[in-house]
């Protein structure tokens, strides 16, 4: 019998190739508002974006504030003129069409769906996640998706996982496994709630201090022997 019949997958950069979609969305913003589309400017945007998502993970801002403020910061630091609200609108609309999956994500979801129940646990923007998931090849294998906007709380908070647990029949802290790439939201969330976690770490980054990590994988295929021993 599998030790973890219920699997909780993060979405961005765990199943979906968010980095590729994010770069494409940035290019579309630049094309629409006649901004220079350079790797240097993209790195400036990414720095602002990362700062704001980190603030969100710490509970310091709302998602609605985050998605606009990241563009305001980017434009200010780059010395460019554009409306951050409109930039964000184009960015999110483009992300909705990004159904690019990470290597082996489809194979793993298809295989595991035969013996497990698969769920998405995500802090990303609800409209983006719903559109992408509905259009993606993994959609038939996902039982449900729990999005922080709809939960009224976000990873890594206990309140978010209370919401998830209230909606999955038969789930316990012992029979589920959270799989995600983010130490600050996925691993910290699993630690906060007392559930097992698997760090998807394709780049082989050093383990963060102060976090319990039950499993670590660099390829999604490595998840199979963990949940089907």
User: For the chain, what percent of residues have pLDDT higher than 70?
Assistant: 100
Other CB atoms closer than 10 Å to residue 212's CB: what's the count? Answer: 11
* Assigned token pair, 49: 């974006």
The pLDDT of residue 156 is 93
Give the integer Cα–Cα distance in Å for 201 and 206: 9
Task: Out of 10, 57, 181, 186, pick the active-site residue.
Answer: 10
User: For the chain, what percent of residues have pLDDT higher than 90?
Assistant: 89
The pLDDT of residue 125 is 84
| Residue range 196-212, pLDDT digits in tens | 999 999 999 999 999 99
Q: What would the DSSP string read from start to end of 36-85?
A: ---HHHHHHHHHHHHHHHHHHHTTSS-HHHHHHHHHHHHHHHHT----HH
Other CB atoms closer than 10 Å to residue 7's CB: what's the count? Answer: 24
| Residue range 146-168, pLDDT digits in tens | 999 899 999 999 999 999 999 99
CB 178 within 8 A of CB 6: no
pTM passes above 0.75: yes
pLDDT over 90 (residue 58): no
Give burial (CB, 10 Å; 0-12/13-18/19+) of 65. Answer: middle
pLDDT over 80 (residue 1): no
* Assigned token pair, 154: 């976000």
Confidence of residue 223 (pLDDT cuts 50, 70, 90): very high
The pLDDT of residue 17 is 94
| C-alpha dist (Å) from residue 150 to 128, 185, 187 | 13, 17, 21
| Residue range 24-38, pLDDT digits in tens | 999 999 999 999 999
Can 10 be counted among the known catalytic residues? yes
Q: Is the dihedral of CA 193, 130, 52, 59 positive or negative?
A: negative
Confidence of residue 194 (pLDDT cuts 50, 70, 90): very high
| Residue range 94-147, pLDDT digits in tens | 998 889 999 999 999 999 999 999 999 999 888 888 999 999 999 999 999 999
Q: What would the DSSP string read from start to end of 118-131?
A: EEEEE-S-HHHHHH
All structural domains of the chain: 6-17+100-227 (3.40.50.1000), 18-95 (1.10.150.240)
The pLDDT of residue 70 is 97
| C-alpha dist (Å) from residue 22 to 80, 95, 127 | 20, 7, 15
């Amino acid at each position: 019998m599998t030790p973890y019949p219920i699997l909780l997958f993060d979405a961005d950069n765990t199943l979906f190739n968010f980095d590729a979609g994010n770069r494409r969305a940035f290019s579309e913003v630049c094309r629409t508002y006649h901004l220079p589309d350079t790797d240097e400017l993209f790195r400036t945007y990414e720095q602002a974006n990362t700062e704001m998502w980190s603030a969100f993970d710490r509970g310091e801002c709302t998602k609605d504030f985050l998605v606009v403020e990241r563009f305001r910061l980017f434009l200010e630091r780059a010395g460019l003129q554009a409306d951050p609200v409109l930039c964000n609108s184009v960015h999110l609309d483009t992300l909705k069409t990004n159904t690019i999956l990470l290597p082996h994500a489809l194979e793993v979801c298809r295989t595991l769906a035969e013996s497990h129940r698969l769920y998405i646990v995500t802090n990303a923007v609800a409209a983006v996640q719903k559109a992408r998931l509905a259009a993606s090849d993994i959609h038939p294998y996902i039982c449900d998706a729990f999005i922080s906007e709809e939960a009224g709380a976000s990873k890594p908070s206990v309140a978010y996982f209370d919401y998830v647990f209230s909606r999955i029949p038969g789930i316990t802290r012992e029979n589920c496994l959270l799989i995600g790439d983010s130490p600050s939201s996925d691993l910290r969330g699993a630690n906060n709630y007392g559930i097992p976690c698997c760090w998807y770490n394709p780049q082989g980054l050093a383990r963060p201090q102060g976090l319990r990590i039950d499993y670590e994988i660099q390829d999604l295929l490595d998840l199979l022997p963990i949940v089907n021993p």
